[in-house]
Amino acid sequence: MNIPEVDKKKLIQKIINSKRFSRSEILRDLLNYLFKAHQNNENVKAINIAIDLLQRKGELKENDETLARVYVHKLRSKLTDFYINEGLNEKITLQIPKGKYELTFQTASQKSTKLAKSLPYKTVLYIGSGLILLNLFILAVFFCFSKNEKQNPIWANYLNDKKDINLMLSNPFFYTIRNLQTDSTLVIRSFNINSEEELNNSQKLFSEDKYEIKKSDISYFANNNISSLPLLFKALHKTKNNIHLKTSNNINLDDIKNNNTIAITSLKSIGLLGNFLDQTSIRIPNKNGLSLLLLSQNDTIKYSAIKSYDNFYTDYAFLIKIPTPKGKSLMIISDSHSIGNKGLMELATSDNLEEKILSQYQGMRKFPNYFELLVKVTGYQEQNLTTEIIHFKALN
């Protein structure tokens, strides 16, 4: 089917004005250059791009075709990123076939097939299989807990509010650095970079002419986060609301502000959720550490996870529940190392939690809607855990 030129032009402008292209003037100009060649039915070669565009913009001193190929490769990658993100629902797909320097426009009926091929087959297989197994696991656990139980005040508004729930599992953020000349790729995990936004805003240590840096498809879930899920499902099994399983790489601040959210994470992978700790007494001093700080008017106490002997652990974990600007609830559950989240969830889902808190903090008349809770968890691996309440405080 022929695509009208006016629709092609609108698509080009939308891509050029998108976030993906906002930081690269040379790629915007290259896309415009190729589109004009497409309109004029011109057969573009690398040497044409080198002379007509790059040399004119001062990008090279000689008619270097290699640099032209590098920029076309970067443009091809940017287009793929655009269609995976902002352009996911576009009816027309724009591509640059490998080995060529021309634009091809295709209708939406061909889009899904092309996008599927943009991801490595094994990556798609692993991620798809993992999500299927995880969803089957969720369904199985929900069906296991059907007995009537007293409503726990921690989870009350998640059960009673007729709004969907976002369940966010933290997964480490990886990115790749690809050498465009040798086609070799490094996979990087930096504790200072926990999202695509932080990657885009990070200091550029490699030349964009020679290296391509982008978010990786690699992902996994830490055992200390997964092991606490059965207890969480037990607490939520009565809800009639939909529960949307998300990863920390695929959730943003608007998702958190506009929906009831429960996030299970660790200190090393807390990412953008760390911004919400400013509303509490809890701080994370080092993104690459196993310690957290508890602030008070007179002192600052540091708590650090310890593996002492024969896999006997001492871990610390916190649960904070705070309101969002949109009147929703955000709960963050995080530990330092290995057993904290599970020990914390055993306490948070117990029938006598309210009684235990009110007896230990006798100045508190009723269990607050929003609060911060810090616990110490000890035990051998994940068995026979002992959980001690260190700190509890109501939040406005």
Rounded to whole angstroms, the Cα distance separating 283 from 206 reads 32
**389 located within any domain:** yes
Asked if 162 and 186 sit in the same domain, the reply is: no
Q: Where among 215, 241, 271 does a domain terminate?
A: 215
Q: Where among 96, 117, 138 does a domain terminate?
A: 117
Q: Are 330 and 263 in contact (CB under 8 A)?
A: yes
Q: Which residues contact 284 (CB under 8 A, 6 or more apart)?
A: 267, 270, 274, 277, 291, 292, 293
Asked if 228 and 281 sit in the same domain, the reply is: yes
Rounded to whole angstroms, the Cα distance separating 368 from 49 reads 65
Asked if 11 and 53 sit in the same domain, the reply is: yes
Q: How many CB atoms lie within 10 A of CB 379?
A: 19
Asked if 207 and 238 sit in the same domain, the reply is: no
Q: Are 57 and 26 in contact (CB under 8 A)?
A: yes
Asked if 165 and 207 sit in the same domain, the reply is: no
> In what side-by-side order are the strands of the sheet with 282-283?
282-283, 291-295, 300-304
**70 located within any domain:** yes
**277 located within any domain:** yes
**122 located within any domain:** no
Asked if 383 and 252 sit in the same domain, the reply is: yes
Asked if 188 and 165 sit in the same domain, the reply is: no
Query: Can you give the residue range of the structural domain that contains 349?
Result: 147-171+222-394
Of 246, 255, 237, nearest to 158 by C-alpha is: 237
Asked if 262 and 198 sit in the same domain, the reply is: no
Q: How many domains would you assign to the chain?
A: 3
Asked if 196 and 315 sit in the same domain, the reply is: no
Asked if 158 and 205 sit in the same domain, the reply is: no
**76 located within any domain:** yes
DSSP 361: S
Q: What is the largest CA-CA distance in the chain?
A: 81
- At 285, the amino acid letter reads P
Asked if 162 and 112 sit in the same domain, the reply is: no
DSSP string, 61-76: SS--HHHHHHHHHHHH
Asked if 373 and 230 sit in the same domain, the reply is: yes
Q: How many CB atoms lie within 10 A of CB 168?
A: 25
Q: Are 174 and 218 in contact (CB under 8 A)?
A: yes
| Helix, strand, coil percent content, the chain, rounded in steps of 5 | 40, 25, 35
Of 93, 62, 58, 56, nearest to 76 by C-alpha is: 93
DSSP 247: E
What is the full per-residue pLDDT of the chain (396 aa) written as tens digits? 688 999 999 999 999 999 888 888 889 999 999 999 999 999 988 888 888 877 665 554 554 677 788 888 889 888 988 888 888 888 899 999 988 899 999 886 654 444 444 445 455 555 666 666 666 666 666 555 544 456 788 998 888 888 889 888 887 778 888 888 888 888 888 777 777 777 887 777 777 778 888 888 777 777 777 788 888 888 888 888 888 888 776 777 777 888 899 999 888 878 778 888 999 999 988 766 678 899 988 888 888 887 665 667 889 999 999 998 888 899 999 998 778 899 999 999 998 889 999 999 988 888 999 999 999 998 876 677 899 999 999 997
Helix 5-16 to helix 25-39 angle (10° resolution) is 170
Q: Where among 192, 215, 238 does a domain terminate?
A: 215
Locate tokens 């904070």: which residue? Answer: 320
